[in-house]
Amino acid sequence: MKVLITGASSGIGRDMARIMAQKADELVLVARDLKKLEELKQELESKTKVEIISIDLTSEENCKEIHNRVQNVDILINNAGFGDCGDFTKTSLEKEINMIKTNIIAYHILTKLYLIDMKNKDSGKILNVASIAGVMPGPLMATYYATKNYVVRLSEAIREELKKDKSKVQISILCPGPVNTNFNKVANVKFNLREANSMKVAEYAIKNLEKGKFYIVPGMDVKFARIGVRFLPNSIIAKFAYMAQKRKLGGN
Ligand SMILES: NC(=O)c1ccc[n+]([C@@H]2O[C@H](COP(=O)([O-])OP(=O)(O)OC[C@H]3O[C@@H](n4cnc5c(N)ncnc54)[C@H](OP(=O)(O)O)[C@@H]3O)[C@@H](O)[C@H]2O)c1
């Protein structure tokens, strides 16, 4: 089994790589930070074959190059992503454009290209790492929530197409709440909510991917939040989300 994981240099992606090293014949790990990828390769290569690709996913060409270089993938885990926090008129446009490229366009390209391959051989799994942020509006983190909403809606639609085609290919989404990773530092936030342990989230994700679940939502509190948003109008959810984000605004 060959597994490709983006955003494997840190956090949830790195922990999923550690778990997959016990199961896969071949791991392909993608991120920008070569040193961290090399350290992870050294840690895992006694367990499985590991290829690392240091590349920036904000470039469309780089995403297409990954697909050209890495063929016969059985499991694709689109995980690389980041956020930012602050009033929409005050946050950095450049950072947001890079966020849209990483969190949306790279997911879109890799999902499409590998899904075509998987459909042709009628096997394979794609795990798109979204967030609980993907099922609601997110004032003060507007762009990040919007990117994750894209991932959720895209994956839900693809899932239905696969069902209608009676395809054996599986697509799943991981929707965690706050997780203790490097995310906060990059997003300039301080979570006041309890943060989940990254390895526990990764273990839960892989276990449920193997079971064939579509919505993978780790933690009872996050499960309740997902149920809650189904019954409340978006205008009310936006008010709650605003209050929650306001409490965790970092240096902005
Ligand atoms: N932590 C949370 O609270 C939380 C909650 C829900 C969902 N998530 C989602 O979980 C995923 C993983 O995040 P994390 O929490 O594990 O954060 P993290 O520790 O900051 O890891 C993010 C990963 O994405 C990679 N990445 C970012 N920009 C990239 C780019 N342009 N090109 C290639 N790789 C890039 C980073 O690698 P390099 O810097 O080496 O490139 C790193 O490996 C993200 O999609 C995030 O939105 C996180």
The whole-number average pLDDT for the span 190-196 is 76
Say if residue 125's pLDDT is above 60: yes
In tens, the pLDDT along 69-80 reads: 999 999 999 999
Q: Is the CB of 58 under 6 A from ligand 1?
A: yes
In tens, the pLDDT along 37-47 reads: 999 999 999 99
In tens, the pLDDT along 150-175 reads: 999 999 999 999 999 999 999 999 99
Q: What is the whole-number distance in angstroms between the Cα of residue 164 and the centre of ligand 1?
A: 32
Say if residue 189's pLDDT is above 90: no
Mean pLDDT of the chain: 95
Q: Is the CB of 176 under 6 A from ligand 1?
A: yes
Q: What is the whole-number distance in angstroms between the Cα of residue 121 and the centre of ligand 1?
A: 30
pTM: 0.97
CB contact at 8 A, 216 and 209:
yes
Nearest-CA residue for atom 6 of ligand 1: 131
Instruction: Write the DSSP assignment of the chain as a string of letters.
Output: -EEEEESTTSHHHHHHHHHHTTT-SEEEEEES-HHHHHHHHHHHTTTSEEEEEE--TT-HHHHHHHHHHS-S-SEEEE-------S-TTTS-HHHHHHHHIIIIIHHHHHHHHHHHHHHHHT--EEEEE--GGGGS--TTSHHHHHHHHHHHHHHHHHHHHHHHTT---EEEEE--S-BSSSHHHHHTB---SPPBPHHHHHHHHHHHHHHT-SEE--SHHHHHHHHHHHHS-HHHHHHHHHHHHHHTB---
By annotation, the residues acting in catalysis are 144, 148
Q: Supply the pLDDT for residue 251.
A: 41
Q: Supply the pLDDT for residue 249.
A: 72
Q: What is the whole-number distance in angstroms between the Cα of residue 165 and the centre of ligand 1?
A: 32
Q: Supply the pLDDT for residue 250.
A: 53
Amino acid in the structure at residue 78: N
Say if residue 190's pLDDT is above 80: no
Say if residue 242's pLDDT is above 60: yes
Q: What is the whole-number distance in angstroms between the Cα of residue 10 and the centre of ligand 1?
A: 7
The whole-number average pLDDT for the span 113-125 is 98
Q: Is the CB of 179 under 6 A from ligand 1?
A: yes
Say if residue 129's pLDDT is above 80: yes
Q: Is the CB of 80 under 6 A from ligand 1?
A: yes
The whole-number average pLDDT for the span 1-8 is 98
Q: Is the CB of 181 under 6 A from ligand 1?
A: yes
